[in-house]
Every structure is written in structure tokens, then in C-alpha cells.
């Protein structure tokens, strides 16, 4: 019986590693914001690999062994990413600059497999109206797109100046 559970654990680890490498190979942009297609894909993928992990064992102990193996593997993997920066860079890649001073970097857009519509959506989510309003947009290693714009900086600076010293404002009104 112990050998059976060991095989479940090893199969689960193998499936975990395969999926991590497959996601890294096929692109990282799908992780941060799931579309309906991405959600369906993940659900079908989990169903497809279930038998590879537990085989015909549908018992509670078999499922718990598979889940424990996945949690442990994930923890070890994250520790390796933290302790070995080169391994982290290999697995997660580098951030990609998508926009610099209002100009789209087409080469990096192609590398990231991002459409213009996806970029524009991220830009709008960050409060900018158009690409020319963006100082910097970066596809981060986690799949999120960070957007910095001078308009945001100016608004933030004005808000900080406006509320910088509330005591001084109170003293003026007294």
C-alpha cells in the first residue's frame, strides 16, 4: 500500500513539473488575467491529468497524498525560485517593456504574444486613455502589466501637495 501512495506522489510531482514547464514554454500572459477560454482550459487540463496522478485510486487517502505531494512540490519550487535567482530567472523570465514614453515596443509585444487590444485594456485599467499618455508599461514576470503615466504622477503629486500638512491648513482657517 505504501508503494501505491509513493507512486501517486511521484506521478503528482511529475504532472506538476510538466504543467509548470508547459505554462512557461507556452507563455506567461494567460496567468494574470484569466479569460473564459483560459478558465475552461485550466478546468479541462486538471481533469485530463487527474488520472495520471491518482490512476484508478479515487479514495480519500489517494487524493490527500496527491494534494500533499502538490503542496510540497510547490513549496520546494518556490523556495528554489527564492534561493537561486538564476533558476528563478530561467523559470519566470524577465519583465518586458511594452511601452516607453508613449511608443509601443512591437518586438516585445510579439515576444509576449499580446494584442494591441489587450495592451489598451491594461492601460485603461490603470487610468490612462491612450498609449501616448503612458510613460512606461511593463509585462511583469507574474503576467500583470504595470503602467506608469505622467498624468498619474502629476495627479498624485498634486494630491500629496494638497494634503501634505493638514495642521498648516487648519491654522490658516482659525
SS3 144: coil
Task: Please answer whether residues 111 and 93 qualify as being in contact, where contact means their C-beta atoms are separated by less than 8 angstroms.
Answer: no
Task: Please answer whether residues 97 and 119 qualify as being in contact, where contact means their C-beta atoms are separated by less than 8 angstroms.
Answer: no
Dump pLDDT digits (tens) for 112-167: 888 899 899 999 999 998 999 999 999 988 788 999 987 655 443 333 334 344 44
- The reported pLDDT for the residue numbered 34 is 63
Rounded Cα–Cα distance for residues 45 and 88 (Å): 25
- The reported pLDDT for the residue numbered 91 is 82
> What DSSP letter does each residue of 62-127 carry, written as one string?
HHHHHHHHHHHHHHHHHHHHHH-HHHHHHHH---EEEEETTEE-HHHHHHHT--HHHHHHHHHHTT
Q: Which letter does DSSP use for residue 132 in this model?
A: G
- The reported pLDDT for the residue numbered 33 is 58
pLDDT averaged over every residue in the chain: 80
Average pLDDT over residues 36-65: 83
Q: 98 or 37: whose pLDDT is higher?
A: 98
CATH number of 96-157: 3.30.240.20
Q: How far is CA 138 from the centre of its chain?
A: 13
Dump pLDDT digits (tens) for 141-152: 878 899 998 765
Beta bridge partner(s), residue 97: 138
- The reported pLDDT for the residue numbered 22 is 81
Task: Please answer whether residues 137 and 97 qualify as being in contact, where contact means their C-beta atoms are separated by less than 8 angstroms.
Answer: yes
Q: 73 or 153: whose pLDDT is higher?
A: 73
Residue 28 binned pLDDT confidence (cut-offs 50, 70, 90)? low
Instruction: Please state the domain extents for the chain.
Output: 2-92, 96-157
Q: 37 or 104: whose pLDDT is higher?
A: 104
Which of 97, 139, 136 lies closest to 118, judged by CA? 139
Q: Which residues contact 29 (CB under 8 A, 6 or more apart)?
A: 112, 113, 114, 118, 139, 143
Q: 18 or 99: whose pLDDT is higher?
A: 99
- The reported pLDDT for the residue numbered 159 is 38
This prediction's pTM: 0.62
- The reported pLDDT for the residue numbered 161 is 37
Q: 167 or 21: whose pLDDT is higher?
A: 21
Percent of the chain with pLDDT over 70: 80
Q: Which residues contact 69 (CB under 8 A, 6 or more apart)?
A: 8, 9, 10, 12, 13, 16
Amino acid at each position: 500500500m505504501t508503494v501505491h501512495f509513493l507512486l501517486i506522489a511521484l506521478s503528482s510531482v511529475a504532472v506538476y513539473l510538466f504543467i509548470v514547464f508547459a505554462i512557461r514554454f507556452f507563455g506567461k500572459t494567460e496567468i494574470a488575467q484569466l479569460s473564459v477560454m483560459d478558465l475552461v482550459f485550466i478546468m479541462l487540463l486538471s481533469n485530463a491529468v487527474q488520472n495520471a496522478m491518482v490512476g484508478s485510486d479515487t479514495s480519500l487517502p489517494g487524493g490527500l497524498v496527491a494534494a500533499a505531494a502538490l503542496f510540497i512540490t510547490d513549496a520546494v519550487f518556490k523556495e528554489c525560485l527564492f534561493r537561486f535567482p538564476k533558476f528563478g530567472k530561467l523559470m519566470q523570465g524577465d519583465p518586458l517593456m511594452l511601452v516607453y514614453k508613449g511608443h509601443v515596443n512591437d518586438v516585445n509585444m510579439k515576444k509576449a504574444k499580446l494584442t494591441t487590444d489587450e495592451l489598451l485594456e491594461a492601460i485603461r485599467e490603470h487610468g490612462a486613455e491612450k498609449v501616448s499618455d503612458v510613460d512606461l508599461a511593463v509585462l511583469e514576470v507574474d503576467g500583470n502589466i504595470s503602467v506608469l503615466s505622467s498624468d498619474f504622477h502629476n495627479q498624485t503629486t498634486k494630491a500629496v501637495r494638497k494634503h501634505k500638512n493638514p495642521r498648516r491648513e487648519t491654522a490658516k482657517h482659525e
